[in-house]
Amino acid sequence: MRYSLAILMFFFVAVANAQVFNASCDSYGRCFVDVDNGRSIVVEKSQRLQLDGWPKTFSKDEYYMNVRGVCLADIDGNGSDEIIFGADTAIYAYKGDGSFLWRTDLQGIAYYPPSCVDIDNDGIPEILIYTRAKAGTSTSYFYIFDKDGNVREGFPKSYSNTQIIIGSPVIADFDGDKQMEIIVAKFGSSQSKLYVYEPDGSVRSGFPKTVAGRFAVTPSVGYDSRSRQMVDSLIVLNTTEAIYAFDLNGNVLDGFPVQNDNVKFSYQSPLICHTNEKTVIVGASHGDASIFYSLETNGQFSDGWPIPTVNNAWTYTAPTVGGLGETFDFYMFTQRDSDAAIHAMRPDGSYISGFPAPRADLDEGGSEGVTTYMYSTDLSKIYIFGTSISGDANGEGYVHIFEANPDLSDFHETAESPLRVQGLSFMSAVNLGDVNGNGKLDLVVQSYDQMGEGTDSIHVSVFETDYDYNPNYMYGTYKGRNDRCGFVTPFGLDLNVEDALSDEISVFPNPVCDRLNIVLNVASDLQIVDISGKTMFSYIGCSENYSIDVSNLETGVYFCRIKNNDKVQTVKFVKL
């Protein structure tokens, strides 16, 4: 990083030899962190109290902080999100009430957030994470876990002479078989390799591909998880020096790489932004001529782009884009400048009125984190969330909440913002979800102490807002969704993609007590599996109306799998 760690330090009382801390809070909002040797630290919390059971504090590597936040995903099928994250050399899963689910030790240091997707179409999500090598070592690892934290057979994959695998795992279905491929960018000192893995851990034919230079961002791929298909045959990945675009076979596209000696890349994971008119690559850079850019798939900058940062300030920002109609209303970036912290442009490169917008932080202010947002349930407002470079004199970081009209007019910080978290929120994200299942938007933030000592800590904070949770109109995490594909469309865009089975089946009632009814218009095979993947019932060649007696099943979440030739549809249902 360009910035000295000294800039990032703040005054926090550290306790030697601490491992996992338990936190409790009193009615005044003071947080007591109980440590192994019986002492405690008192830290003032935000004016908005956190949910019961939070915050929690964990040991941290002496040198490396976590970046880009956590993963929120419903891994146990109960309708609310679990909180999954890495800290030092372990990965953890917690429920929203603060109760512990599991911990699994890692080889290497958790750095970027996990990804979470059902990679083999069995109705049960898997969790994927990379680690970076610890100081003095040179091997990184790639893990896949089941929902209970067990390591998948054939994993972890190890990469020798590799200090870091950049980013989070990127998960997409390249060939429409409902078996997800995983994209891995292996960092090298003089050259890098682009891997694509199948779910069984084998390397996809034609890969890895080798390029000169060091991969420096999480890749993006033209896969739309909502329609579950590849829309653009495109993989975008930046080295420290250039922007690369590949097809799905790993061939570099005409017009790429795009390079400028004064423009460098690291951490600014680009987005693939698709409308019915065209697809562009949106991102940012650092260097002596730092820019925000929109790039055509022929390697030419879009009209009106690139746009320089204010004062040529370096930025590690990952972009955010959004729109309610069939075109994007805004591209949003942040930078290290308290007077011009937030940038919002139209796709033609013109600034939206009121931007760049300041951020009321101490010192330099600004942000290098991930901006997330959610539209109100009536779509009349947009709520925008971000972190900050700065911390206050008490060693607390900032969480910012903004409100605006959908066109970003009347953009303003809310009265209760900024919230406070223990440690710095620099380079992180405000992750959006509903961790307690009450229909209200929850904010989950991972922050950290950066003192360059063995007693540094990572903190996970959980706040609840008054906003009704609107998951269908939300850009809620690093790169938008938990597959980390970075493929984004306006919310009103119809890709005209239909799943081959989705309009041909109906499963009801849901929840169910006695008999589950399944209406099929084409002969199919049926399976009922439980949350662990165990097959409870199996039927071959069912057609038309089919009824299954599920009265003897225990109460819980199950999946109905309907298979016709090579097409599979999975429907979740609840047995009462």
**pLDDT single digits (tens) 472-495:** 999 999 999 999 999 999 998 877
CA 88 vs CA 172, 383, 455, 469: distances in Å: 28, 32, 11, 31
pLDDT, averaged across the chain:
85
The candidate with the shortest Cα–Cα distance to 404, out of 434, 379, 425, 429, is 379
Q: What is the pLDDT of residue 529?
A: 82
Which 3 state secondary structure label does DSSP give 544? Answer: strand
**Looking at residue 72, what is its pLDDT?**
98
Say yes or no to pLDDT of 180 above 90.
Answer: yes
Top-confidence residue, 390 or 282: 282
Q: Is the model's pLDDT at 351 over the cut of 70?
A: yes
Q: Which of 8-22, 66-80, 227-241, 460-474 has the lowest mean pLDDT?
A: 8-22
Query: Of 4-8, 296-300, 394-398, which range is least confident?
Result: 4-8
Q: 110-120 as b/e, with b when 16 or more CB fall inside 10 Å?
A: bbbbbbbbbbb
Contact 482, 115 (CB under 8 A): yes
Three-class DSSP category at 223: strand
> Helix, strand or coil for residue 519?
strand
Average pLDDT over residues 424-436: 93
Which of the 8 DSSP states describes residue 571? E
What's residue 47's pLDDT? 52
What backbone phi and psi angles, to 5 degrees, belong to 232?
Answer: -120, 130
pLDDT at residue number 503: 53
Residue 521, classed as helix, strand or coil, is strand
In the prediction, which pLDDT does 32 show?
Answer: 45
Per-position b or e across 281-315, b if 16+ CB within 10 A of its CB: bbbbbbbeebbbbbbebeeebbeebbbebbeeebb
Helix (H) or strand (E) holding 402: strand 396-404
- Ranges 100-104, 452-456, 489-493, most confident: 100-104
What is the biggest distance separating any 2 CA atoms in the chain, rounded to whole angstroms? 68
pLDDT in tens, 111-142: 999 999 999 888 889 999 999 998 888 899 99
Tens of pLDDT, residue by residue over 161-170, are: 887 888 999 9
Q: Return d(Cα 393, Cα 380) in angstroms, integer.
A: 37
- Per-position DSSP letters for 69-127, written without gaps between them: --EEE-SSSSSS-EEEEEETTEEEEE-TTS-EEEEEE-SSEE-SPPEEE-SSSSSS-EE
In percent, the amount of the chain with pLDDT more than 90 equals 52
How far are the Cα atoms of 71, 226, 429, 470, 575 from residue 435, in angstroms, in the given order? 11, 22, 16, 13, 22
* pTM (two decimals): 0.82
- pLDDT computed for residue 15 by the predictor: 28
Is the pLDDT confidence value at 288 over 90? no
- The pLDDT of residue 121 is 86
Average pLDDT over residues 228-247: 93
pLDDT tens by residue, 40-83:
333 444 456 899 999 999 988 888 888 899 999 999 888 899 99
- Element at 32 (helix H, strand E): strand 30-34
Sign of CA dihedral 196, 152, 124, 535: positive
Confidence of residue 371 (pLDDT cuts 50, 70, 90): very high
Higher pLDDT, 574 or 411: 411
Question: How are beta strands 474-475 and 372-375 bridged, if at all?
Answer: antiparallel
6: pLDDT confidence band, cut at 50, 70 and 90?
very low
Residue 496: CB partners within 8 Å, gap ≥ 6?
A: none
